[in-house]
Amino acid sequence: MLVSRTSQYAVQALIYMATQPSTVPVLNKDIASRLGVPAPYLAKILQSLAKGNLLFSFRGRLGGFCLREGGDKITLMQILLLTEGPTFTQTCLLGLKKCSDETACPLHFRWAPVKKKIIDLLEETTLEKLAKAVETGKYRLADVPGNLFDQIKA
């Protein structure tokens, strides 16, 4: 597994939010049903994203979550740094605690250029780009097409 399920849910949810009009907060339960993801669990993830200053959260009636900045300002890297932890780009393939250019594992210099590709991709991919891709209709955000009620509403 490349990233945790938590990270996957976070990215999916944020892409979905970026496809929605930013004038009104998005409800946790709407995101959850659209993505086919457990709502209480997603709520916890969204709350941590709010603590990480990626989202605004509003309580009470008409409450919900909003992107704190435009989708063009938020990259995959920012999200994964929150959900995977601040050192996730530094981890060694073989699991060594110290693995740098000075004290390296035998894979270090083979892995470095590939890792750079990954980091570049994460840093240059914004929510806006991904949201646009979804809006074309060619790309799927979730496995199951939302439940029947949602389809009727839409």
Partner DNA sequence: GTTTATCCAGATATATATATATGGATATTC
Partner DNA sequence: GAATATCCATATATATATATCTGGATAAAC
Q: Show contacts with DNA in window 47-106 (CB under 7 A).
A: 47, 50-51, 57-65
Six-digit token string for 151 = 């389809």
The smaller minimum CB distance to its own copies, of residues 57 and 128, is found at 128
Alpha carbon distances (Å) from 82 to 96, 109, 153 = 22, 27, 33
- Choices 22-30, 42-50, 53-61, 84-92; region in contact with its own copies by CB under 8 A: 84-92
Q: Which does 59 bind (CB under 5 to 8 A by kind): DNA, its own copies, none?
A: DNA
- Choices 21-29, 40-48, 63-71, 141-149; region in contact with its own copies by CB under 8 A: 141-149
Binding positions for DNA, rule: CB under 7 A:
4-6, 9, 25, 27-29, 37-41, 43-44, 46-47, 50-51, 57-65
